[in-house]
Amino acid sequence: MGGSALPDQQAALLEKIRQKTVVGGIIGLGYVGLPLAQHLCGVGYRVIGFDVDPVKIEFIEAGKSYIKHIDPAWIREMVGTKRFGATVEFSRLPEADCISICVPTPLDEHFGPDLQYVEATANSIAANLRKGQLVILESTTYPGTTAEMLLPILERGGLKVGQDFFLAFSPEREDPGNPKYTIRNIPKIIGGITPACTAVASAYYGMIFDKVVEVSSPAAAELTKLLENIFRSVNIALVNELKMLCDRMGIDIWEVVDAAATKPFGFMPFYPGPGLGGHCIPIDPFYLSWKAREYDFSTRFIELAGQINTQMPTYVITRLMEGMNELGKTVKDSRILVLGAAYKKDVDDMRESPSIHLIELLWKYGAKVDYNDPHIPKFPRLRKHAINLESVELTPANIASYDCVLIATDHTVYDYSLIVKHAQFVVDTRNATRHVAEGREKILKA
């Protein structure tokens, strides 16, 4: 039986994939899971979405979207034709042939990996696992998670990986708000527990990704994702540190970076900001640092970059306080308007946004804080943060009523000339006002 099980299960699943009769399952319908569902449906798969949040299920059933760049018309069409549905009932997992895990992997209070959502998901799958299923972990994590955590949980019912079911890691590479790169044209990294696992996962995702890149193991795929984001974290930390030095030297760091970027080789521009945001870059380096300690290894370079980036909101508020002091004002009891709640321009994603920390620091120093963000009308429920604010109207009179306007996110929709014209004082963390001609004496870059 052991000799024939591998080709039988593998061949049957590969045939379903080829015929597009395979049913996709996606656990976690957030910024990764919902776009993945859209693309799977787009090539003809039927997809079942799973999430513990009943509000998301209600939105999908009503044909509505809760993510800006996902068109609700697509949801209405797919739900109406029964190509896509969502549920909180994990007992329906056996209906799916290929299951993608797209759940959060945050940090705990000690900056260590918090894999409670991955573990809970694995337990739910294990309770419903059947022969012939493919399970793919997409959540960013440390090298070894798929083989050391998921595999033992999934095999405890007696099914064998590579024979009865298939398991792989394939890191998400979503870049919300980027019109140039979508799921289809971003190469997909895949590392399976066995060669059969890699082959099945590659066939499944090969239907929606233009290019699939196979690596030797899940651990190699897991570390690939961490390297991508650590590369960005380290380079952003470098330019953030240079920004602090440039402020003391009276040099414009943005001018320096733009000038260096004219070199056609050996340089890639990174830009400073008020801190790191998004789910990946602020978190991923700590995952590898934590895992490295298991091997008695200190990732000093990576940890230093994390420390520099983490301190940037404090640096920005310090600069803001210095600027207000020069105007004869204090932060305490001042009215401050934060522009932008999203972690980057033109998206509605607030995960790990620096704006959260900026607002909390301003509160700590006694400021009265409001915010405006056309993409985020109300602060969502945030893990570890209790901010109950709604976006205020951005009118000339309202802008003028604040002691300071802090530009935290450089949304394209903002009219920076109008903002500077009517503001009393502007702190610009994104170089968003670089083209503003009038009122430059009111601008402080931080």
Kindly state whether residues 435 and 375 are assigned to the same domain.
Answer: yes
As given in the structure block, the two tokens for residue 85 are 């549905």
The predicted structure's pLDDT at residue 350: 87
Kindly state whether residues 11 and 113 are assigned to the same domain.
Answer: yes
- Which helix H or strand E contains 444, and what residues bound it? strand 443-445
Kindly state whether residues 195 and 47 are assigned to the same domain.
Answer: yes
In the listed set 182, 216, 250, which residue is the last one of a domain according to the structure?
Answer: 216
Give me the catalytic one of 102, 246, 280, 404: 280
* C-alpha R_g of the chain: 24
Kindly state whether residues 433 and 319 are assigned to the same domain.
Answer: yes
In the listed set 199, 216, 233, which residue is the last one of a domain according to the structure?
Answer: 216
pLDDT tens column, 331-366: 999 999 999 999 999 998 888 899 999 999 999 999
The predicted structure's pLDDT at residue 331: 97
The predicted structure's pLDDT at residue 5: 44
Q: Any catalytic annotation for residue 41?
A: no
What CATH number did the domain enclosing 434 receive? 3.40.50.720
As given in the structure block, the two tokens for residue 275 are 């801190």
In the listed set 216, 232, 255, which residue is the last one of a domain according to the structure?
Answer: 216
Per the structure, the count of domains in the chain is 3
Kindly state whether residues 285 and 348 are assigned to the same domain.
Answer: no
Kindly state whether residues 372 and 394 are assigned to the same domain.
Answer: yes
**147 is in which domain, residue-wise?**
2-216
- Alpha carbons within 13 A on the beta-carbon side of 419: 26
The predicted structure's pLDDT at residue 2: 44
The predicted structure's pLDDT at residue 4: 45
CA–CA separation, 167 vs 194, rounded Å?
8
Kindly state whether residues 327 and 255 are assigned to the same domain.
Answer: no
Residues for the chain: how many in total? 446
The predicted structure's pLDDT at residue 127: 97
For the residues of 282-342, what is the DSSP string, one character each?
A: TTHHHHHHHHHGGGT---HHHHHHHHHHHTHHHHHHHHHHHHHHHTT--STT-EEEEE--S
Residue numbers in the chain where pLDDT is lower than 50 = 1-5
Which residues have CB under 8 Å from 175's CB, separation 6+? 181, 186
Kindly state whether residues 281 and 385 are assigned to the same domain.
Answer: no
Kindly state whether residues 223 and 202 are assigned to the same domain.
Answer: no
Kindly state whether residues 122 and 181 are assigned to the same domain.
Answer: yes
pLDDT tens column, 190-204: 999 999 999 999 999
Kindly state whether residues 212 and 242 are assigned to the same domain.
Answer: no
Which residues have CB under 8 Å from 297's CB, separation 6+? none
Kindly state whether residues 196 and 250 are assigned to the same domain.
Answer: no
Specify whether the backbone of 113 is left (phi greater than 0), alpha (psi in -120 to 50) or beta.
beta
